[in-house]
Amino acid sequence: MRRFNIPHKFEFTSIIQLYGQWIREGKLKVNSDWNKDLKIKFTVQDPCNIVRKTLREEMADELRFVLKTVVGEENFVDMVPCGVNNYCCGGGGGALQGGFTEERRAYGKIKFDQVMATGAKYVVAPCHNCHAQIEDMGHHYGGEYHVLHLWTIMCLAMGILGENERSYLGPDLANFGL
């Protein structure tokens, strides 16, 4: 609509931007106290569509604000490169479902190596394709990290993550807060 100057009365927003807004307004009561003693390290995947193609650095910054608020700035390890320069996971655009598993995994090795270089135990992936691809890379190449959605770690931080929502957490968090 911006490109073709089409008039409209709505604004495009991401749930991640709303999380950031609600945290700043005190509507989402999250903090990183739960991780002060555990010191579990987290990194984040910058999804192609909302970071590199759409909202760019604004979204990358907001994503990091939310995650650092939830896990603690000292427990966040960024990938290199990051933000708009971060690498694609290799699972989007139909690649995950396209049937070329070995090719997808070969391309995804770049992302796997990037994740492993962080030393993080958890990769937060706001995009479902990124989540599935990075998780598959971990299984395929023997990575010892877990992949989770942003909302999962936010719920854990708020003390509302249910038992049935913990299946993909590692043993260090699977029973935390129960």
**Range of lowest pLDDT (29-33, 94-98, 123-127, 136-140):** 94-98
Tell me the β-bridge partners of 124.
44, 148
Write down the pLDDT at residue 2: 75
- Burial of 9 (C-beta count, 10 Å sphere; 0-12/13-18/19+): exposed
pLDDT higher at 97 or 53: 97
**Where exactly are the structural domains of the chain?**
35-159
Question: Class of 35-159 per CATH?
Answer: alpha beta
